[in-house]
Amino acid sequence: MNVKTIAVIGAGSMGHQIAMLSALAGYKTNLQDLKNEALEKAKLDLTKIMDKWVAKEKITIEAKDQAFENLFFTTDIREAAGQADLVIEAVVEKLEVKREVFAELDQIVPSHTVLATNSSTIVSSLIADATSRPDKVCNMHFFFPPLVMDCVEVVKGEHTSDQTAQLAMEICSQLNRTAVLLQKEISGFIANRILFAIQKEAMALYEGGYANYKDIDKITRKALSHPIGPFELMDLSGIDVGYYVMQQQYAETGDPKDKPSKTITEKVEAGELGRKTGKGFYEYGTKVNR
Ligand SMILES: NC(=O)c1ccc[n+]([C@@H]2O[C@H](COP(=O)([O-])OP(=O)(O)OC[C@H]3O[C@@H](n4cnc5c(N)ncnc54)[C@H](O)[C@@H]3O)[C@@H](O)[C@H]2O)c1
C-alpha cells in the first residue's frame, strides 16, 4: 500500500510527537484532538522542539518548514481521518474510550486504511472487534518521548494480517524508528513488562520503608547504570499514565498485585502527576513543558 496520509488521534504527550515524526518523514499528517487547547499546546511545543533541532543543526530550517507544511491540526475526526491510509490512535489509556474511537474511525476511513493503537498495555484484540476490519488493526507502541526514543513495538494479534504488520513495520522505518515485531499478544508487551516489574519492586521497597524514593533512584542509577531512577521516570512519563495502565492490567488479570499502589493512587488523587504538573515524587518549581 502506498501510504500518503497519516492521521494521529489524540494530541497529548505522545500524539503530538508521533505526528511530528510523520510530518518530518514527508507524510501529510493530520493531528486531531477533542480539545483545541491540546492542539494549541502541541503546536507551541513542536515549534520549540523543532527550533532547538535547527539551532543544534539536527535538521535544516527548510526541513523544519516542510514538516510544518505537512502537518495539520484539527478537532474534527472526519477531517483528520477521512483520507488517511494509516491512523495511529494516542488517546487516553481507557479501553472503552479507545473502542469508541476505533468504532468511529471504522465508519470514517477508507476500506484499505490500517488502524493502529499506541496503547502502552492494551492488546489490539481487545479493540479490533469494535471495527469491521480486525485484520487491519494492530499495536504500534512508541516510547516517550517519541521524537527522542528510537523504538516501536509492533504487535501482531491473531486477527492482524501479515500485510498490516508489515505495513506498520515499514512505516516505522520511514519514521526513522527501530521497530520490533511481536508475533503474539501479551498485555504490556516487552519493554513495559520489564519496566513495570522494576517500578513495582521499587514502590514495594519504598512503601515498606526500606529506603526513600530518592535513594532508590540513586541506587538504580549508580549500581544498575540506569540513566534515570524508577521514581524519576514515573514523574517524567506521568504518574496518571502509569495509574491507568495498572488499572487496565488489574481489570484484565484481577490480580491485586496489579492494582495501582497506595502511593500512586494518592498522587493521582492529589493531582501530583509528575513533571507536567510541576510536582510528582519530586518538585519541579513551575509547571514543566511536558
Ligand atoms: N506517556 C507515555 O509515557 C506513553 C508512552 C507510550 C504510550 N503511551 C500511550 O499513548 C496514549 C496517549 O498517552 P499520552 O501520555 O499522550 O496521554 P495524554 O493524556 O497526554 O493525551 C491524550 C490526549 O487524547 C485526547 N483525547 C482523549 N479522548 C479523545 C478522543 N476521543 N478523541 C480525540 N482525542 C482524545 C486528550 O484530550 C489528550 O490531549 C495512551 O494509550 C498511553 O498508554 C503513553
Are residue 134 and residue 249 in the same domain, yes or no?
no
Which among 182, 211, 231 is the end of a domain? 182
Given a cut of 80, whether residue 15 has pLDDT beyond it is: yes
Residue 285 lies in a domain: no
* Same domain? 75 vs 216: no
Cβ of residue 35 lying under 6 Å from some atom of ligand 1: yes
- Which of 8, 9, 14, 95, when mutated, tests ligand 1's pocket best, judged by the most ligand atoms within 8 Å of its CB? 14
Structural domain boundaries, residue 109? 5-182
Q: In this structure, are residues 245 and 121 in contact, taking their beta carbons and an 8 Å threshold? A: yes
- Do 159 and 249 belong to one domain? no
For residue 261 and ligand 1, the question of a CB distance below 6 A is answered with no
What is the per-residue pLDDT for 265?
Answer: 97
| Residue numbers annotated as active site | 120, 141, 153, 192
State the chain's mean pLDDT as an integer.
Answer: 96
Asked if residue 235 and residue 148 are part of one domain, the reply reads: no
Q: The CATH number of the domain where 43 resides is what?
A: 3.40.50.720
166 falls within a domain: yes
> 190 CA distance to ligand 1 centroid (A)?
20
- Say if residue 28 is in the same domain as residue 80: yes
Instruction: Report if residue 244 sits inside a domain.
Output: yes
Question: In this structure, is residue 78 part of a structural domain?
Answer: yes
- Please state, in angstroms and rounded to a whole number, the distance separating the CA atoms of residues 184 and 264: 30
The answer to the question of residue 177 being in a domain is yes
Q: Which atom of ligand 1 is nearest to the CA of 38?
A: 39
Q: What is the phi-psi region of residue 260: left when phi exceeds 0, alpha when psi lies from -120 to 50, beta otherwise?
A: beta
Q: Where among 162, 182, 202 does a domain terminate? A: 182
Ligand 1 pocket, residue 38 CB under 6 Å: yes
H helices of 26-94, in order, are 36-55, 61-70, 77-81
Report the pLDDT value the prediction gives residue 286, as an integer from 0 to 100.
64
User: 19-29: per-residue pLDDT in tens?
Assistant: 999 999 999 99
**Sequence-ordered list of residues with C-beta below 8 angstroms from that of 256, at least 6 positions apart, any chain:** 250
For residues 134 and 252, membership in a common domain is answered with no
Nearest CA to ligand 1 atom 4: 144
> Is the CB of residue 90 below 6 angstroms from any atom belonging to ligand 1?
yes
Cα gap 124→133, rounded to integer Å: 12
Whether 200 and 172 map to the same domain: the answer is no
Do residues 41 and 121 touch, judged by C-beta distance below 8 A? no
Look at residue 248 and tell me whether its pLDDT is greater than 90.
Answer: no
Q: Are 243 and 136 contained in the same domain?
A: no
Dump pLDDT digits (tens) for 35-69: 999 999 999 999 999 999 999 999 999 999 999 99
Q: DSSP H helical segments within 61-190, as ranges? A: 61-70, 77-81, 95-108, 125-128, 162-174
Do 257 and 151 belong together in one domain? no
Which of ligand 1's atoms lies nearest the C-alpha of 245?
43
Are 199 and 164 in the same domain? Answer: no
In a domain, 147, yes or no: yes
pTM for the whole structure: 0.89
Residues 206-222 pLDDT 10s: 999 999 999 999 999 99
Residue 188 inside a domain? The answer is no
Would you say the CB of residue 91 lies under 6 angstroms from ligand 1? yes
Q: 3-class DSSP state for residue 81?
A: helix
Percentage of residues of the chain with pLDDT beyond 90? 89
**3-state DSSP call for residue 116?**
strand
Residue to substitute in 8, 9, 13 for testing ligand 1 pocket (most ligand atoms within 8 angstroms of CB): 13
Atom of ligand 1 at shortest range from CA of 35: 37
- Please count the structural domains in the chain: 2
CATH code of the domain covering residue 199: 1.10.1040.10
**Domain annotation covers residue 288:** no
- Where is the domain boundary, 155, 182, 209? 182
The answer on 201 and 176 residing in a single domain is no
- Same domain, residue pair 171 and 272: no
